Amino acid sequence: MATYNGGKHLRRQLDSLATQSERPSELVITHDCSADDTIAVVEAFANSAPFPVKLSRNETRLGYRANFMRAASLCGSELIAFCDQDDFWYPGKIAAAVRPFADPEVLLTYHNADVVTDDGNRISSLTERLVPIASGPWFYPLGFTEVFRRSLLSLSGLWQSSRDPGDGSEISAHDVWVFFLADVLGKVVYLDEPLVAYIQHGQNTFGFTNLNFRQRTKMFFGNRAVELANFAEVANNRAAILDAAKDTLDGVWRKRAAASADYYKSLSVIVAERSRLYTSRSSVERARSFRAILGKSGYASAWGLGHRALIVDVCIGVPVGPYLS
């Protein structure tokens, strides 16, 4: 658990951990220089918790990305779950999330959740209404739904060189990073069962997103040149990370890292071509980029584009390009 000014909601979350049908072997909390009573809440809980609570105070504020990564590094268990400070875990969350790990190939599980108001009224399920930042190779589940093998942390030395799909100027978020590695190196299992109340209280670092029709239309048909250019750079960055990782890995992980590095190199080329559809002022160049994508089977689902992207590019990208608002 990474904490920062979460004292108002923290005890509710901590109590939900104490009532798990399969209790955690430990709770590791990294405290990120809060100005509220977070420390007092944690210490009061630790006095009666049915499992060890280890509190580590950061000397300077790290931000949520590095704070979560530090918390994970301090865990001693084989399986690690990211835990936000302001949700509520249903009693069967841990038991259900760890069950698939009986298969040694499984590196990460994630699950559905109920999106609820601060007073407990259900809004929807996470999968019904929450729109992910991206899809295909850019998809990732929210951190509080993830449980992963500690072995993924062996590559944490490469995390600082990563780039986030949502903002290429930032290092990958903790949940983006471990999902990327798990998806590349092993098996990921999704549980379509709401195991957590994802509480919306108005002060969430990242909260529930409910887009209206106009926003959804702009999302799919607006000019995404900047976003696509960022995706191309991130794909190239992931290829470089995997090239570096494969030299430290053995056996099947080494082979999978090498294959995925090649995948991301090809993806970078395809997405860069698509970005040019929305940046080039030459219709001839836009047509050339479109043909290049087709020639690489770029609209196949494996590249995260698909028929919807094909329709948008045919109807808007090639004829309109950068003149799309």
Query: Can you read off the two tokens belonging to residue 215?
Result: 């926003």
Question: What confidence score (pLDDT) does residue 132 get?
Answer: 45
Which pLDDT does position 208 carry in this prediction?
A: 55
Give the whole-angstrom CA distance, residue 261 versus residue 242: 5
Q: Is residue 207 part of a domain?
A: no
Q: How many domains does one find in the chain?
A: 2
Same domain, 28 and 154: yes
Residue ending a domain, among 142, 177, 200, is: 200
> Do residue 42 and residue 159 come from a single domain?
yes
* Total Cβ atoms within 10 A of residue 126: 22
166 and 224 housed in the same domain:
no
Q: Are residues 139 and 22 in the same domain?
A: yes
Given 151, 172, 200, the domain boundary residue is 200
What is the band of 323 on the pLDDT scale with cuts at 50, 70, 90? confident
Last-in-domain residue among 200, 223, 253: 200
In a domain, residue 206? The reply is no
Phi-psi region of 14 (alpha: psi -120 to 50; beta: other; left: phi over 0): alpha
pLDDT of residue 133: 43
Query: Which among 136, 81, 138 is positioned nearest to 111, based on CA atoms?
Result: 81
Higher-confidence residue of 34 and 203: namely 34
pLDDT tens across 204-260, in order?
555 555 555 555 555 555 567 888 999 999 999 999 999 999 999 999 999 999 999
Q: In whole angstroms, what is the distance from residue 153 CA to residue 178 CA?
A: 8
Q: Which residue has the higher pLDDT, 185 or 211?
A: 185
Is residue 61 a part of any domain in this protein?
yes
Per-residue pLDDT for 325 more than 80?
A: no
With H, G, I as helix, E, B as strand and everything else as coil, classify residue 84: coil
Q: What Å distances lie between residue 15 and 23, 50, 141, 156, 194, CA to CA? A: 12, 10, 24, 31, 18
Task: List, edge to edge, every strand of the sheet that includes 2-3.
Answer: 2-3, 27-31, 53-57
Q: Are residues 135 and 246 in the same domain?
A: no
97 inside domain: yes
Q: Are residues 145 and 241 in the same domain?
A: no
Residue 278 falls inside a structural domain: yes
Indicate whether 17 and 58 sit together in one domain. yes
| Window from 131-135, 140-144, 158-162 with minimum mean pLDDT | 131-135
CATH assignment at residue 186: 3.90.550.10
What per-residue confidence (pLDDT) applies to 107?
Answer: 98
Residue 135 has pLDDT above 80, yes or no: no
Same domain, 45 and 185: yes
Torsion of CA 36, 204, 194, 121, to 10 degrees: 90
Q: What is the pLDDT of residues 85-125, one digit of tens each?
A: 999 999 999 999 999 999 999 999 999 999 999 888 999 99
Are 251 and 195 found together in one domain? no
Same domain membership, residue 62 and residue 193: yes
Higher-pLDDT residue of 161 and 320 is: 161
The reply to whether 226 falls in a domain is yes
Residues 90 and 176 in one domain: yes
Residue 290 belongs to a domain: yes
Q: Which helix (H) or strand (E) covers residue 259, if one does? A: helix 251-277
Q: Work out whether strand 27-31 and strand 53-57 pair parallel, antiparallel, or are unpaired.
A: parallel
Residues 175 and 235 in one domain: no
Residue 205 lies inside a defined structural domain of this protein: no
Contact 290, 320 (CB under 8 A): no
Average pLDDT along the chain: 91
**Containing domain of residue 96, as a range?**
2-200
Residue 100: which of 20, 172, 191, 168 has the closest Cα?
191
pTM recorded for the entire structure: 0.92
What pLDDT, in 10s, does the model give residues 20-76? 999 999 999 999 999 999 999 999 999 999 999 999 999 999 999 999 999 999 999
